[in-house]
């Protein structure tokens, strides 16, 4: 397969102002007629052949200006010779036939439960019709859909309809990846929103009959997002209608198609009895994310796919800001950093490491990664910290005015900041072009003096090699620092130090006493802080830090140190740590959500990474046992207060998904987990029986399963929800994630043999196989059964759905951490995958990168 390079970019030789599409839908045979109006692109002078992408299309006819032309067909598209392109502007009309029912890859036009829907990003439009399927070709679309179905949707505004047909017109030029079409027997949860300038917009969430009562929260989130983007970024919605459709079979969370967002049902449907608090928060965040793309992604799109972080990093940054505003900034930041470390750091430190803006790819779908998304968002957070809030707002205004209606690059993005602030961002740009997680070493010095002493902080950065990038330059790292007095008062409030050299010192003068430093507050840069801190100092920060992130971080670091020692030296957990946990758990002045987060112990995968980094070879079985022992020790220390905490955190009355109640439920579940570890399942069983919402019933079920109990509850849960796909996904997943290590493979075997295990449904596949890879000790069981099982299923899934198979293969990316036996077994599975006949480009690129 061909590698695509950023350096090879050339503008498309033609402009395409207007497109007209006509769909006559049929499951096995859908006809697509396209009329494309081209003209020469002044940016690419000269005479050019016309190449159009097209895959799995049956060409019926092709005409230029009404006359049939010869077109050279290949399996990636058609070429029409420059000689046949008469006239300056010219019109190409094609007709093709495709088969949505045969499309299991869920890319292009496909069917899900009798409904037609599309997924075009990144390069799916070429499976619908012949087209210049690249994001820098922006056209206005007029679409006619004909089918004997009640609801026929496409992008833009509705301009006409009758029995069996509808027409849509999208006035905003867009790349083909934002095209969407939906047709089916759907019902709408409808509402409306009046924009800042007084335009009324119709809002609909389209679902299958029966799901109407799960739309209210998504609608609230949509309206909140629309008004937030007006308030915070000055961005209004720009069509008369905004449609969201829920679909059961979808490769990812959702898609921001212009005016017609398509969502995985899991990412939009939520009701108190079927969705947990985490689900509600995720729905809110994803609705916001897709909505925010209307400006960052759609109005301003990407010149080419190497610029993916231009829209994804910025849109993630915006949805994180939004969720922080809707909920709690401290809690949101901690959750985001947890996810960043679990997925992005792991990626950045392994064989799949790549730059936020990569410079080559084989299959672009393999680059919708935590690095492009989450590290892409962190880079924007750093930029903002460096230039300040006001300059950030000005730069964004300039970005929107300067690039509206265009396909932009990271260079364009950085330029608006340079022009706004007069800063030179050449060095900063390395964050986009160089992969790897920098490591920050910290040295402290104190020189007392009568007039006031000087505290000197020396920071040294290291930028480790990554595949294809052996050497790196120093990064610009904003390090937010605050200093505390030994009595807990803050003597120096948060200050941003700009580390630009490999090693640099920063002095704080006039201090009465040697301070205690709180470094990298709010996680001001995506780096690993390499710092030995005495346990007493960590405990001090856990008790006193005014920065909530670092307060949590102090407990987290302590927990990791304690756990690492338990694993490698078999020691007992230190009292200082347990006391710290107790102090946080019962501190009524703290947000319950924060307390619940602080009580959550580091995960097993996280511990494996930590041990590996400190020069140990992680043993998954030992990690599992030690973590259980630590959880028990914490429960013992908290024991006297647990019943009271459990009772105090009950939330009476009607269910509200808002953060305050959700935080209480989370802390109550933490208390119930502790009680279950100490006294067995009685309390959790009672709570399961009395549960009035999914957070409580699923939370208590998980607590019971983790303790090796819960058979009865598992059966009751199944009996109640057996016909509900989304809830049953939870039922499948929880059994695998909480299986004992030696039983995990068997559990997977039992569940995949059930008739309701449908591998074509990505949610169900992920529920089982994703949960396998998330069960660290089970997946890495010494027998190799976890590795074998995953490889078997990836090989089976690949011909049906290469995108999901490739994505899930990243479970193998951590192989370099483990012992020689495990390394050998994983590499053998990767080699077996690579040798599978007819392997997709997606999976072969991934397996190949992991092996080499």
Minimum distance, C-beta of residue 766 to ligand B3K, in the bound complex (Å): 15
CA distance 218 to 265: 11
Minimum distance, C-beta of residue 245 to ligand B3K, in the bound complex (Å): 14
Q: Which is nearer to ligand B3K, 105 or 672 (CB)?
A: 105
Q: Choose among Zn ion, ligand B3K, none what residue 365 binds, the Cβ cut-off being 5 to 8 Å by kind.
A: ligand B3K
Applying CB under 6 A, does 290 fall inside the site for ligand B3K?
yes
Q: Choose among ligand B3K, Zn ion, none what residue 829 binds, the Cβ cut-off being 5 to 8 Å by kind.
A: none
Stretch that binds Zn ion, among 89-97, 312-320, 509-517, 778-786 (CB under 5 A): 312-320
Minimum distance, C-beta of residue 290 to ligand B3K, in the bound complex (Å): 5
Stretch that binds ligand B3K, among 248-256, 336-344, 454-462, 636-644 (CB under 6 A): 248-256
Q: Choose among ligand B3K, Zn ion, none what residue 115 binds, the Cβ cut-off being 5 to 8 Å by kind.
A: none
Q: Are 359 and 423 in contact (CB under 8 A)?
A: no
Q: Choose among Zn ion, ligand B3K, none what residue 122 binds, the Cβ cut-off being 5 to 8 Å by kind.
A: ligand B3K
Q: How many helices (H) and strands (E) does the chain have?
A: 30, 31
Residue 16: CA count within 13 A, CB half-sphere = 27
Element (H, E) at 685: helix 682-690
Minimum distance, C-beta of residue 312 to Zn ion, in the bound complex (Å): 5
Minimum distance, C-beta of residue 249 to Zn ion, in the bound complex (Å): 20
CB atoms within 10 A of CB 553: 25
Applying CB under 6 A, does 806 fall inside the site for ligand B3K?
no
Give the footprint of ligand B3K on residues 308-327 (CB under 6 A): 312
Q: Choose among ligand B3K, Zn ion, none what residue 84 binds, the Cβ cut-off being 5 to 8 Å by kind.
A: none
Q: Are 478 and 500 in contact (CB under 8 A)?
A: no
CA distance 506 to 515: 14
CA distance 667 to 824: 42
Q: Which is nearer to Zn ion, 123 or 312 (CB)?
A: 312
Torsion of CA 784, 787, 788, 789, to 10 degrees: 120
Applying CB under 6 A, does 289 fall inside the site for ligand B3K?
yes
CA distance 165 to 420: 49
Minimum distance, C-beta of residue 315 to Zn ion, in the bound complex (Å): 5
CA distance 575 to 516: 22
Q: What is the DSSP letter of 240?
A: S
Q: Which is nearer to ligand B3K, 252 or 355 (CB)?
A: 252
How many residues in the chain? 852
Cα angle value 828/830/833 (rounded, 5°): 110
User: How many residues sit close enough to Zn ion to count as binding (CB under 5 A)?
Assistant: 2
With CA atoms as reference, report the closest residue to 702 among 736, 725, 678: 736
Stretch that binds ligand B3K, among 288-296, 582-590, 762-770, 771-779 (CB under 6 A): 288-296
Applying CB under 6 A, does 845 fall inside the site for ligand B3K?
no
Cα angle value 292/295/296 (rounded, 5°): 75
CB atoms within 10 A of CB 490: 16
Stretch that binds ligand B3K, among 48-56, 108-116, 287-295, 711-719 (CB under 6 A): 287-295
Minimum distance, C-beta of residue 122 to ligand B3K, in the bound complex (Å): 5
Minimum distance, C-beta of residue 124 to ligand B3K, in the bound complex (Å): 8
Give the footprint of ligand B3K on residues 405-464 (CB under 6 A): none
Beta strands in 28-164 (DSSP E): 30-40, 50-53, 58-64, 67-68, 72-74, 77-80, 90-98, 108-112, 115-119, 139-146, 151-154, 157-162
Q: Which is nearer to Zn ion, 254 or 626 (CB)?
A: 254
Minimum distance, C-beta of residue 296 to Zn ion, in the bound complex (Å): 9
Q: Which is nearer to ligand B3K, 290 or 813 (CB)?
A: 290
Beta-sheet strand order (sheet of 254-255): 187-194, 200-207, 241-247, 260-264, 254-255
CA distance 130 to 583: 64
Minimum distance, C-beta of residue 120 to ligand B3K, in the bound complex (Å): 9
Omega of the bond prior to 761 within 30 degrees of 0, cis?
Answer: no
Q: Which is nearer to Zn ion, 204 or 294 (CB)?
A: 294
Q: Choose among ligand B3K, Zn ion, none what residue 475 binds, the Cβ cut-off being 5 to 8 Å by kind.
A: none
Q: Which is nearer to ligand B3K, 371 or 557 (CB)?
A: 371
Q: Are 686 and 611 in contact (CB under 8 A)?
A: no
DSSP characters over 519-583: ESGGG-SS-EEE----HHHHHHHHHH-SSHHHHHHHHHHHHHHHHHHHHHH-PPPPHHHHHHHHH
Could you say which of 290, 347, 604, 813 is catalytic?
290
Stretch that binds Zn ion, among 309-317, 406-414, 461-469, 683-691 (CB under 5 A): 309-317
Stretch that binds ligand B3K, among 250-258, 323-331, 447-455, 631-639 (CB under 6 A): 250-258
Stretch that binds ligand B3K, among 253-261, 346-354, 504-512, 530-538 (CB under 6 A): 253-261
Q: Which is nearer to ligand B3K, 364 or 691 (CB)?
A: 364
Q: Are 204 and 188 in contact (CB under 8 A)?
A: yes
Give the footprint of ligand B3K on residues 256-275 (CB under 6 A): 256
CA distance 601 to 321: 26
Minimum distance, C-beta of residue 697 to ligand B3K, in the bound complex (Å): 30
Minimum distance, C-beta of residue 368 to ligand B3K, in the bound complex (Å): 5
Give the footprint of Zn ion on residues 246-305 (CB under 5 A): none
Residue of 368, 455, 765, 787 that binds ligand B3K (CB under 6 A)? 368
Q: Give the end-to-end CA distance of the chain in Å, rounded to a whole number.
A: 17
CB atoms within 10 A of CB 7: 7
Cα angle value 213/218/222 (rounded, 5°): 140
Q: Choose among Zn ion, ligand B3K, none what residue 252 binds, the Cβ cut-off being 5 to 8 Å by kind.
A: ligand B3K
Cα angle value 157/160/164 (rounded, 5°): 115
Query: For 382-403, b where at least 16 C-beta lie within 10 A, e where not — what string?
Result: bbbbbbeeebbbbbbeebbeeb
Q: Which is nearer to ligand B3K, 373 or 818 (CB)?
A: 373
User: How many residues sit close enough to ligand B3K to count as binding (CB under 6 A)?
Assistant: 12
Q: Which is nearer to Zn ion, 294 or 461 (CB)?
A: 294
CA distance 188 to 208: 9
Applying CB under 6 A, does 122 fall inside the site for ligand B3K?
yes
CB atoms within 10 A of CB 834: 15
Tell me if residue 290 is catalytic: yes
Q: Are 248 and 265 in contact (CB under 8 A)?
A: yes
Q: Which is nearer to ligand B3K, 256 or 606 (CB)?
A: 256
Q: Which is nearer to ligand B3K, 290 or 374 (CB)?
A: 290
Stretch that binds Zn ion, among 307-315, 599-607, 652-660, 767-775 (CB under 5 A): 307-315
Q: Choose among ligand B3K, Zn ion, none what residue 255 binds, the Cβ cut-off being 5 to 8 Å by kind.
A: ligand B3K
Give the footprint of ligand B3K on residues 348-367 (CB under 6 A): 365
Q: Choose among Zn ion, ligand B3K, none what residue 368 binds, the Cβ cut-off being 5 to 8 Å by kind.
A: ligand B3K
Which residues contact Zn ion by CB under 5 A?
312, 315
Which residues contact ligand B3K by CB under 6 A?
121-122, 252, 254-256, 289-290, 293, 312, 365, 368
Q: Which residues participate in catalysis according to the annotation?
A: 290
């Amino acid at each position: 397969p061909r590698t695509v390079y950023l350096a090879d970019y050339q503008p498309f030789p033609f402009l395409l102002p207007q497109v007209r599409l006509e769909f006559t839908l049929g499951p096995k045979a859908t006809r697509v007629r396209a009329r494309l109006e081209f003209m020469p692109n002044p940016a690419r002078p000269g005479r050019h052949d016309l190449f159009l992408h097209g895959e799995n299309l049956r060409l019926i006819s092709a005409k230029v200006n009404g006359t049939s032309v010869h077109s050279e067909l290949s399996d990636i598209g058609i070429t029409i010779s420059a000689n046949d392109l008469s006239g300056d502007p010219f019109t190409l009309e094609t007709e093709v036939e495709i088969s949505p029912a045969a499309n299991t890859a869920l890319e292009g036009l496909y069917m899900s439960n009798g409904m037609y829907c599309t997924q075009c990003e990144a390069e799916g439009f070429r499976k619908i019709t012949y087209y210049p399927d690249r994001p820098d070709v922006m056209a206005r679309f007029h679409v006619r859909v004909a089918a004997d179905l009640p609801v026929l949707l496409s992008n833009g505004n509705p301009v006409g309809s009758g029995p069996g047909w509808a027409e849509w017109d999208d006035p905003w030029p867009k790349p083909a990846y934002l095209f969407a079409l939906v047709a089916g027997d759907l019902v709408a949860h409808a509402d409306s929103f009046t924009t800042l300038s007084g335009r009324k917009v119709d809002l609909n969430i389209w679902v299958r009959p029966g799901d109407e009562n799960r739309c209210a929260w998504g609608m609230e989130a949509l309206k909140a997002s629309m008004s937030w983007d007006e308030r915070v970024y000055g961005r209004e919605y720009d069509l008369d209608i905004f449609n969201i459709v829920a679909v059961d079979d979808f490769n990812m969370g959702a898609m921001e198609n212009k005016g017609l967002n398509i969502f995985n049902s899991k990412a939009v449907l939520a009701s108190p009895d079927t969705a947990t608090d985490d689900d509600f928060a995720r729905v809110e965040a994803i609705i916001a994310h897709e909505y925010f793309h209307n400006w960052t992604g759609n109005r301003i799109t990407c010149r080419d796919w190497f610029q993916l972080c231009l829209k994804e990093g910025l849109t993630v940054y915006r949805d994180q800001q939004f969720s922080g505003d809707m909920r709690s900034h401290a809690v949101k930041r901690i959750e985001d950093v947890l996810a960043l470390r679990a997925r992005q750091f792991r990626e950045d430190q392994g064989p799949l490491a790549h730059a936020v803006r990569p410079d080559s790819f084989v299959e672009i779908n393999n680059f919708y990664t935590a690095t492009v998304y989450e590290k892409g968002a962190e880079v924007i957070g750093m930029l903002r910290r460096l230039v300040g809030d006001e300059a950030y707002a000005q730069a964004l205004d300039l970005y929107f005015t300067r690039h509206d209606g265009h396909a932009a690059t990271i260079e364009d993005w950085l330029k608006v900041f340079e022009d706004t602030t007069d800063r030179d961002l050449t060095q900063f740009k390395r964050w986009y072009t160089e992969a790897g997680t920098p490591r920050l070493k910290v040295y402290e010095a104190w020189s007392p003096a009568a007039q006031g002493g000087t505290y000197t902080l020396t920071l040294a950065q290291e930028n480790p090699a990554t595949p294809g990038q052996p050497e790196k330059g120093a990064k610009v790292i904003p390090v937010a620092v605050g200093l505390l007095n030994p009595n807990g008062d803050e003597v120096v409030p948060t200050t941003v130090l700009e580390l630009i050299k490999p090693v640099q010192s920063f002095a704080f003068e006039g201090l009465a006493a040697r301070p205690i430093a709180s470094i990298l507050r709010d996680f001001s840069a995506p780096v690993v802080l390499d710092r030995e801190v005495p346990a007493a100092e960590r405990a001090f920060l856990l008790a006193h830090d005014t920065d909530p992130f670092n307060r949590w971080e102090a407990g987290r670091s302590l927990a990791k140190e304690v756990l690492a020692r338990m694993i490698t030296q078999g020691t007992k957990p230190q009292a200082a740590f347990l006391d710290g946990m107790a102090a946080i758990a019962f501190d009524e002045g703290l947000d319950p959500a924060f307390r619940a987060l602080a009580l959550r112990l580091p995960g097993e995968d996280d511990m494996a990474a930590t041990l590996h980094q400190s020069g140990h070879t992680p043993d998954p079985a030992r990690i599992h046992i030690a973590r259980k022992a630590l959880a028990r020790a914490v429960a013992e220390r908290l024991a006297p207060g647990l019943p009271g905490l459990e009772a105090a955190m009950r939330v009476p009355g009607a269910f509200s998904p808002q953060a305050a109640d959700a935080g209480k439920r989370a802390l109550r579940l933490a208390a119930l987990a502790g009680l279950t570890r100490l006294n067995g399942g009685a309390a959790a069983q009672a709570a399961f029986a009395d549960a009035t919402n999914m957070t409580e019933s699923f939370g208590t079920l998980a607590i019971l399963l983790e303790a090796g109990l819960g058979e009865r509850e598992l059966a009751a849960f199944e009996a109640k929800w057996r016909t509900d796909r989304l809830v049953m996904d939870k039922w499948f997943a929880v059994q695998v994630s909480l299986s004992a290590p030696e039983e995990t493979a068997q559990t997977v075997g039992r569940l995949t043999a059930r008739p309701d295990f449908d591998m074509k449904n990505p949610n169900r596949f992920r529920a089982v196989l994703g949960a396998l890879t998330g069960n660290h000790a089970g997946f890495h069981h010494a027998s190799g059964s976890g590795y074998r099982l995953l490889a078997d299923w990836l090989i089976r899934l690949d011909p049906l759905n290469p995108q999901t198979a490739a994505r899930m293969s990243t479970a193998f990316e951590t192989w370099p951490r483990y012992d020689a036996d495990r390394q050998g077994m994983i590499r053998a599975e990767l080699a077996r995958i690579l040798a599978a006949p007819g392997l997709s480009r997606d999976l072969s690129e991934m397996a190949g990168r992991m092996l080499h």
